[in-house]
């Protein structure tokens, strides 16, 4: 918890969401303004994206919570349905939030007559900022810690027992947030926005790979443990995301090739 005023509290995770959305919004506006990245008339205006921010915020929050309820603890919430709405108690799923974001992109793009893929490209590029801050908040909160380890940088977390553990939140912050942000930024500067859907595909594939690596160090959720073949829920949910990313990048490249021939 960051600050508490009687019954009201500002938590690190909530602050990460707020700052991540604001910084992502500013980054998206900067991308839209750079006409040289697009190679053609920019498919949306800054005002369009300003109006979209509320839609995507709701998509992330609602999708993240619904995803957590359905993917990570369905039996508990079936027995305690009212707790599904108690966001302040924690419990969000990236994969659910991503699906909520996709739905927001599709609905808003159709409402405004915009390119769904281009709007998705910008949103994914900006979303890495929020992912980075979210993982840092996980670390500060001492949650989602890693598996026991004897590496020199192992840490004892307040709720993780007496054994040193991998600071897997930091691994994920670097892989899913910082590194993916750098890669997507480099792709944008190389002209990837000229191929609608390529950044969306690269984000989907890159996040899935980064999350799968992180899951090898992260302690599985206690109510689920290890699943089929020793895989975790995070890994299983990342597999279709990885395949979707490959398909999106391949489709974007085919369109570009067809345009040149």
Whole-prediction pTM: 0.89
* Res 7: pLDDT: 44
Q: How far is CA 117 from the centre of its chain?
A: 17
* Res 80: pLDDT: 78
Q: What is the pLDDT of residues 102-121, one digit of tens each?
A: 999 999 999 999 999 999 99
Nearest to 139 by CA among 172, 90, 176, 182: 172
* Res 256: pLDDT: 58
Rounded Cα distance between 49 and 62, Å, is 20
* Res 41: pLDDT: 87
* Res 174: pLDDT: 97
Question: Helical H runs in the chain?
Answer: 12-33, 46-71, 74-79, 94-112, 116-141, 168-172, 180-189, 198-215, 233-260
Q: Provide the residue-wise pLDDT of the chain in tens; the chain has 261 residues.
A: 455 544 444 566 778 888 999 999 999 999 999 999 998 789 999 999 999 999 999 999 999 888 888 877 788 888 878 877 777 666 788 889 999 999 999 999 999 999 999 999 999 999 999 999 999 999 998 888 999 999 999 999 998 899 999 999 999 999 999 999 999 999 999 999 999 999 999 999 999 999 999 999 999 887 777 887 788 988 999 999 999 999 999 999 987 544 443
* Res 258: pLDDT: 45
* Res 182: pLDDT: 97
Phi, psi of 73 (to 5 degrees): -155, 50
* Res 261: pLDDT: 37
Phi, psi of 158 (to 5 degrees): -55, -35
């Amino acid at each position: 918890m960051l600050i508490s005023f009687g019954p009201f509290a500002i938590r690190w995770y909530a602050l990460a969401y707020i700052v991540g959305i604001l910084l992502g919004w500013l980054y998206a506006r900067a991308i839209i303004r750079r006409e040289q990245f697009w190679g053609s008339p920019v498919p949306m205006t800054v005002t369009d994206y300003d109006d979209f921010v509320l839609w995507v915020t709701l998509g992330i929050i609602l999708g993240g919570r619904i995803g957590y309820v359905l993917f990570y603890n369905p039996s508990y919430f079936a027995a305690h349905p009212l707790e599904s709405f108690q966001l302040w108690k924690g419990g969000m799923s990236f994969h659910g939030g991503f699906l909520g974001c996709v739905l927001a992109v599709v609905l808003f793009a159709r409402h405004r007559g915009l390119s769904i893929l281009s709007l998705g490209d910008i949103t994914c590029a900006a979303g890495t900022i929020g992912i980075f801050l979210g993982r840092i908040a996980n670390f500060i909160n001492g949650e989602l810690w890693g598996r026991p380890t004897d590496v020199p940088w192992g840490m004892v977390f307040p709720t993780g027992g007496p054994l040193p553990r991998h600071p897997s939140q930091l691994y994920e912050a670097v892989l899913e947030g910082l590194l993916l942000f750098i890669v997507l930024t480099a792709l944008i500067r190389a002209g990837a926005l000229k191929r609608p859907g390529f950044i969306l595909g690269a984000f989907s594939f890159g996040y899935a790979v980064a999350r799968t690596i992180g899951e090898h160090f992260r302690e599985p959720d206690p109510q689920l443990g290890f699943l089929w073949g020793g895989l975790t829920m995070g890994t299983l949910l990342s597999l279709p995301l990885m395949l979707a990313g490959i398909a999106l990048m391949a489709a974007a490249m085919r369109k570009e090739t067809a345009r040149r021939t």
